[in-house]
Structure 1
Amino acid sequence: MNQIQSVHNKLIKIITTLQSKKGREEQNQFLAEGIRTCQTLLDSPLQFINLYTTEKMFSEAKKIADEKYIIVVSDAVMKKLSPSTTPSGVLGVFAIPAKKIPSVLKAGLVLAHVSDPGNMGTLIRSAIAFGFPQIIIVEGCDPWSPKAIQATAGTIGFAEIVHLTWSDLKNHQQRPPLAALVPTGGIAINQISKNILLIVGNEAHGIPAPWLKECVYLITLPMPGKIESLNAAIAGSIALYLSISQ
């Protein structure tokens, strides 16, 4: 059994840096917390590095990973490693896939300036659920942050995350039409083709006006109730579902 008891261990110090974007970029790795999230990631194509667990959770950890990849740590070490205030006792480390720009962009989701990791993770999870594994991110928060990973419930392991600038996206030679999700003034999604790139914008400010002018479609969800707008993750998820329900 591999064990680490000291919070001053060199490896522990390195893994702790994965809580920050800088650390993730330097190590090209990310953290995932919890048995279910780690199990989903282990079932995905992502490269698995190690699983850290407390002695109390060791028997559960052995159910999802080979013992040679498991490192048992003290409660103090787990508290240092975990980005959560109440650690689950199981923490996985996985490799971040290399960034690349596909020659063909597929119909699916574009997250433009989405700043909340919970919303980003939820939208990634919805995109995977509805059959849109290629997800384009234009600026915004880091999809590999612990909060975003938690919100995806590990389904990010089945996603193809593509980072593009707006210029790269709009000028890409092989992509579907751009369709922006807006609170008001757009058409219903069932009036257009399924083959679109659905753009969900920033939670507070939406999609920048110059970008909206470069979209082929503006889409608005019909809301007969007395609500002005929905949370970005909810609105985007509904729009994704409607796009496959036509």
Structure 2
Amino acid sequence: MVTKNQIKLVKSLQQKKYRTQHKLFVVEGKKTVFELIEAGLEPFQLFVDAKIENGEFKDFEKISASELKQMSSLNTPSGVLGVFHMPINNSIETLDWVVALDNVRDPGNLGTIIRLCDWFGIKQLICSLGTVDCYNPKVLQATMGSIARVNVVYIDLVNYLKETPQPIYGAFMDGESVYTSELPKNGVLVMGNEANGISAEIESIISKRMAIPQFGEQTTESLNVATATAILLSEIRRGG
């Protein structure tokens, strides 16, 4: 029997301050919950709607649809909800490319970028302290389980970039075309804020400016940051 305190705790994890306090986060949906378990993330509590329980949820607590709805951040809960311990891994490997985000604020953009990193085999994603929380429910929904396979670290981005031995590439409107650039086997790819791009402080540290050339009529100001990340990572992997 689920208690009121359990429901209250799970519901509170929709807010960053409580996720940070308890070092816990919530994911919803059978596919994502099972992916995180298979990836080795440690579950804190697992819940399933008693009406859909069919024997494959042996370690899940069976609860009613109304109890699940109280916990869920979705208008229509999926029937499966997991509470997981946040992984503790702040080490950053630099043998391959690293993606760094400078104050990306939209949860959908961050979730998509995490999924792109997973697709292109980028294991390290560095986020400035002003970037949206990767355990935000909307971010997790957009990652489609990729959060389990990408090491996301929040860090003072300026200090990190000043100290890293890797070459630092930034996405700009006026940079060299990525299609003609010779790209190394490893480096840091910096992507900027949706409205303001890469901040001036970080821009001064970047060693090479890259751009995605526009082929159509000049009516679009810029690409969405997640779309731009997809194009740049594709070229990085094609060149590598």
Same-fold status (TM-score > 0.5):
yes
Structure 2 residue 35 is matched with structure 1 residue 40:
yes
Q: Deviations over 1:165-220 (max 9, x none)?
A: 123212324x42111112x1111224132322111111111111221121011111
Q: How many residues align?
A: 234
Alignment counterpart, residue 113 of structure 2, candidates 117, 123, 131: 123
Counterpart of 2:188 in structure 1 is: 197
Counterpart of 1:52 in structure 2 is: 47
Alignment counterpart, residue 18 of structure 1, candidates 13, 18, 29: 13
Structure 2 residue 204 is matched with structure 1 residue 209:
no
Superposition map of 1:1-246 within 5 A = 3-4=1-2, 9-59=4-54, 62-63=55-56, 65=57, 67=58, 69-102=59-92, 104=94, 106-139=96-129, 140-173=131-164, 175-182=165-172, 184-190=173-179, 191-194=181-184, 195-226=186-217, 227-246=220-239
Amino acid at match of 2:222: S
C-alpha distance in structure 1 between counterparts of 2:146 and 2:120, whole Å: 12
Task: Find the residue that maps to 1:142 and give its secondary structure.
Answer: coil
Measured after TM superposition, the shift of residue 244 of structure 1 is 0.3
Q: Which moved more, 1:126-135 or 1:162-171?
A: 162-171
- Say what the alpha-carbon RMSD is for the aligned residues: 1.8
TM-score normalised to structure 2 length: 0.91
Measured after TM superposition, the shift of residue 127 of structure 1 is 0.6
C-alpha distance in structure 1 between counterparts of 2:92 and 2:212, whole Å: 30
Is contact 2:127–2:155 with CA below 8 Å preserved after alignment?
yes
Task: Find the residue that maps to 1:124 and give its secondary structure.
Answer: helix
Measured after TM superposition, the shift of residue 82 of structure 1 is 0.6
Q: Deviations over 1:100-141 (max 9, x none)?
A: 243757422111100011100100110111011111111210
C-alpha distance in structure 2 between counterparts of 1:75 and 1:48, whole Å: 21
**4+ aligned runs moved over 3 Å, structure 1:** 101-106
Measured after TM superposition, the shift of residue 229 of structure 1 is 1.6
TM-score normalised to structure 1 length: 0.88
Amino acid at match of 1:164: I
C-alpha distance in structure 1 between counterparts of 2:44 and 2:182, whole Å: 44
Is contact 2:102–2:199 with CA below 8 Å preserved after alignment?
no
Task: Find the residue that maps to 1:240 and give its secondary structure.
Answer: helix
Is contact 1:181–1:199 with CA below 8 Å preserved after alignment?
yes
